Amino acid sequence: MTSNALPVPTPASTPSTSATTPVPRALARMLSLDDFEAAARKRLPRPIFGYVAGAAEDNQSLHDNRRAFAQYSFAPRVLVDVSRRTQSTEILGRRYASPFGIAPMGISALSAYRGDVILARAAREQGIPAILSGTSLIPLEDVLREAPGTWFQAYLPGDPTKIDALVDRARRAGYETLVLTVDIPVSANRENNVRTGFSTPLKPSLRLAWDGLTRPRWLASTFLRTLLAHGMPHFENSFATRGAPIVSASVLRDFTARDHLNWEHVARIRRQWPGTLIIKGILHPQDAALARQHGADGVIVSNHGGRQLDGAISPLRALPRVVDAAGSMTVMMDSGVRRGGDVLKALALGARFVFVGRPFNYAAAVGGQAGVAHAIHLLRAEVDRNMAMLGINSVREMNADLLWRDGPGGH
């Protein structure tokens, strides 16, 4: 069994505010997570960038995920000795260097060479968790071998035989944390993907070829390098056996039958899975209560980054009611987090941990593993500075008393 223990730096050595390792010149211009998005737009072919950046239908949920954070302001305390501050966080029996991790993102290996591996390796070296997506293009065994402690996220059909086989595969590989994503019973209406030229399966076309040729660095360092070293990318982790290549029409068939998945299947997974079980995609407090009743160790409050049901409530808005219903179960969240202040606002509203997706994907595209590490440093430094200015020494001190909500009712 591969250990999930991570090399967590001590507070004195945590690379939170000033990394001693020189930052490459190209990355030195990246001052925030949003800077990586602008750089990735220039680096990636339009269809690939569109897939990562895109959401569903009118982008209502995508935009509201950011608006929700803006509706909260800080009410800091002053004249507090904050010289002992640390953002070290313990969840689910493990200690991490910061209260954030890398969310699961499908087909990351099209954004950067061996994208899933470099995301997971950067996370491990920085003492935070990364979650490998079930729609990744690198076998889950390979990723865990490179980065022990990685979590595995699964999209499961309502088929007990296929469920048992994939769960058993993850267990045998050595994963100790299984994240079951439950907010994708059917594929979303991602019109933005179509408009930017992305499709599932990925269809070769003159437009796609032109997009690749006009991005020669991506073409050589990511796509052609992958073809030469590993062949045509396949969906490697949807089932117990290798899935279809990304250009195969059978890809669509592989993504069906998820509308059968229900709580009985969760109970079955809980009986079979010996490790930590997380349910991702919770927005309603009653579902949080059901997750607890079915033996989940934690939930991730998420609207899939706005990529599924357009108009779904933002996780930050849903968070307080979910926390109330969760009892002692660990509550985490993702979607819309872009700043250290966002991380702290989520913690103040009851989350124990936060996951960030797209910005780390962009960072991998721009700078590989060094880019991801730099993005982690930036977010970690923001958390550290904000803690100091809020007057807290531990992330556990972050609570709703330090927030002011705009609108009626205020605090």
Q: Which residues are catalytic?
A: 304
Question: Which residues neighbour 173 within 8 Å (Cβ) at sequence distance 6 or greater?
Answer: 2, 140, 141, 144, 152
How much is the CA Rg of the chain, to the nearest whole Å?
20
| Contact between 11 and 101 (Cβ < 8 Å) | no
Q: How far is 353 from 280, CA to CA, in rounded Å?
A: 13
Residue 394 phi, psi (nearest 5): -140, 145
Which element (helix H / strand E) includes 180? strand 177-181
Buried b (16+ CB within 10 A) or exposed e, 197-225: bbebbbeeeeebeebbeebeebbeebbee
Instruction: Say if residue 201 is preceded by a cis peptide, omega within 30 of 0.
Output: yes
Q: How far is 237 from 243, CA to CA, in rounded Å?
A: 7
Query: Nearest-CA neighbor of 101 among 129, 73, 75?
Result: 129
Place of tokens 């994939």: 166
Q: Residues, the chain, total?
A: 411
Residue 393 phi, psi (nearest 5): -105, -15
